[in-house]
Structure 1
């Protein structure tokens, strides 16, 4: 899958959880969704891209989910 598609999908997931009033719960929602439904290769590719580009195009919730404790690429 292309990195552009991964970024788009990750940002769509974050938009869904952005309405959560508790920021920590929103980050956990994004992280849990990706852990449950994304293949490890997808998570590793997004993490590698985020590390290289400092998350330039990623929603802040995705950045927090990828950078936080508990992220398993």
Structure 2
């Protein structure tokens, strides 16, 4: 899948959870959604994008969520 599509989809998820008043809960929600609904290949490609570009194009809340929950998302 094209990285720009992954970034767009991740940002849409982030925008939904960003409205939550509890930031820690929002970060967890982003990570849980991506873990539940994205194929491992999609998660690997997104992390490869983060590693190669420092998360270029990703919203800050998404980047933080993915970095904080990387181990559980790699499973």
TM-score, normalized by the shorter chain, greater than 0.5 = yes
Equivalent-residue separation in structure 2 for 1:14 and 1:21 (angstroms):
13
Equivalent-residue separation in structure 2 for 1:61 and 1:14 (angstroms):
6
Equivalent-residue separation in structure 1 for 2:63 and 2:72 (angstroms):
11
| 2:10 aligned with 1:24 | no
Tell me which residue corresponds to 2:35. Answer: 35
Any stretches of 5+ residues in structure 1 without a counterpart? none
Equivalent-residue separation in structure 1 for 2:72 and 2:64 (angstroms):
10
Tell me which residue corresponds to 2:3. Answer: 3
Count of equivalent residues: 73
Equivalent-residue separation in structure 1 for 2:3 and 2:56 (angstroms):
13
The two structures, once aligned, show a CA RMSD in angstroms of 1.1
Equivalent-residue separation in structure 2 for 1:44 and 1:17 (angstroms):
22
Equivalent-residue separation in structure 1 for 2:15 and 2:8 (angstroms):
11
